[in-house]
Amino acid sequence: MGRGKIVIRRIDNSTSRQVTFSKRRSGLLKKAKELAILCDAEVGVIIFSSTGKLYDYASNSRKCMSTKFATNVFIHLYILVSQ
Q: What is the pLDDT of residues 9-35, one digit of tens each?
A: 999 999 999 999 999 999 999 999 999
Reported as a pLDDT band with limits 50, 70 and 90, residue 69 is confident
Q: What is the pLDDT of residues 51-66, one digit of tens each?
A: 999 999 989 887 787 7
pLDDT above 70: residue 1: no
DSSP codes, 9-72: S--SSHHHHHHHHHHHHHHHHHHHHHHHHHHT---EEEEE-TT--EEEEESS-HHHHHHHHHHH
Domains contained in the chain, CATH given: 14-82 (3.40.1810.10)
